Amino acid sequence: MSELCPPSPFSGGILLSYKCNVSCRHCMYACSPKWKGDWISEEDALRVLSQLAEEIRGKYSNPEAVGINYGFHFTGGEPFLKFDLLLELVEASSKLGLPSTFVETNCFWCRSDEATMRKMEELREAGLKGILVSVNPFIVESVPFERTERAVRIGLEVFDRNVIIYQKLFFELFRGMGLKGTISFENFLEEAGGVLRYAELIPAGRAPYKLGYLYARHPARRFFGSSCEQELLRDWHIHIDNYCNYIPGYCAGISLGDARNIKEVCRPSSLKKRPIVRALLSDLGKLYEVGREHGYEEPEEGYVSKCHLCLDLRRHLASSGEFQELKPAEFYEHLED
Ligand code: SF4
Ligand code: SF4
């Protein structure tokens, strides 16, 4: 493959910032309180939102419905850390006619019924269609479960059926346990660790570094011959970060271009100056070769997944500052926060 030509996006997430109030062990975007704390500017956000609205026009049969891969969500980091910005972007999206918008949150801010209701209602009045409540054993290490329950209860009142609980398995489990407050992951493992077999835990982002002990490990060659063409060129879900990096799927730390000009990103362009993406489109073994040429050494303990190998190689390569596709650079510094 000599050219890159991503399809026009169908759904996606807009990261207002990588800044988060917590630092989950599984975070795919390596978000944490340690990020320097840049937020998307209003000007950039308006350009991105209007481009998305244009790309998506006529593609949604039900612009009032939301789903994990249906619609556009505001996320982070934690978007409620800057509620005014979130509200402004919801209003702008609504004026632009962006369909099926929702916000993703870890619910840290749901400290009382009144405050929760007020913020959710303001968002709904500004045009937001729904909310995604994140529930997992990592967030609940820091955010008391009562706040999550409150977000779901009030979310159902405000947004009716447009409340996505991700993942419901954990929500029901914590409720069944009568959990109050927080629980450490170690205690969770002791009490209910078996449930992880049935949950979605993607071994990418921070997870291989912080949770690697949960998985079997393999040498790099086990993943050679595998191409990421599908993941890099899919249309059904993309992300755009606060620096306007156009991120394919869940491949954090890879930028396919400047999302302020989506038409340009989705036009055929040469892969000559993008050796990382070129390698990933053909064979992970080729990325390994690029890494070795730049002094990468395979760790003895091996890798838990192909994304772990990819990320470890990219982390090494990003430190040279030579590769324009590896953005934002700060992502690679926060993998082990
Ligand atoms: S998973 Fe969500 S709540 Fe946890 S650090 Fe990442 S963005 Fe924050
Ligand atoms: S191996 Fe890399 S490019 Fe492929 S899906 Fe995983 S993170 Fe994305």
Q: Mind giving me the DSSP string for 47-115? A: HHHHHHHHHHTT--S-TT--BTTBSEEEESS-GGGGHHHHHHHHHHHHHHT--SEEEEE--TT--SHHH
Atom 4 (ligand 2): residue with closest C-alpha? 228
At 130, the amino acid letter reads: G
Q: What is the pLDDT along the chain (337 residues), one digit of tens a residue?
A: 789 999 999 999 999 999 999 999 999 999 999 999 899 999 999 999 999 999 999 999 999 999 999 999 999 999 999 999 999 999 999 999 999 999 999 999 999 999 999 999 999 999 999 999 999 999 999 999 999 999 999 999 999 999 999 999 999 999 999 999 999 999 999 999 999 998 988 899 999 999 999 999 999 999 999 999 999 998 779 999 999 999 998 999 999 999 999 999 999 999 999 999 999 999 999 999 999 999 999 999 999 999 999 999 999 999 998 999 999 999 999 999 9
Q: Which-ligand-closest: CA of 307?
A: 2
Domain 7-211+231-269+326-333 has CATH 3.20.20: yes
* Best probe residue, ligand 1, of 39, 75, 106, 143 (max atoms within 8 Å of C-beta): 106
Q: How far is the CA of 258 from the centre of ligand 2 (A)?
A: 20
| Structure confidence by residue, pLDDT tens digits, 170-209 | 999 999 999 999 999 999 999 999 999 989 888 999 999 9
| Atom of ligand 1 lying closest to residue 20 CA | 8
Q: How far apart are the CA of 78 and the centre of ligand 1, in A?
A: 7
Q: Which residues contact ligand 2 via a Cβ below 6 A?
A: 204, 228, 231-232, 251, 280, 306-307, 310
Distance 27 CA to ligand 1 centre (A): 5
Q: 56 C-alpha to center of ligand 2: Å?
A: 25
The ranges assigned to domains in the chain are 7-211+231-269+326-333
Order of strands across the sheet with 238-240? 163-166, 130-134, 101-105, 72-75, 12-15, 238-240, 246-248
Task: Please give the distance, rounded to the nearest whole angstrom, from the Cα atom of residue 295 to the centre of ligand 1.
Answer: 32
State the distance from the centre of ligand 2 to the C-alpha of 249, rounded, in angstroms. 9
Smallest-distance ligand from the CA of 228: 2
Q: Atom 4 in ligand 1: which residue has the minimum CA distance? A: 24
27-41 tens-digit pLDDT: 999 999 999 989 999
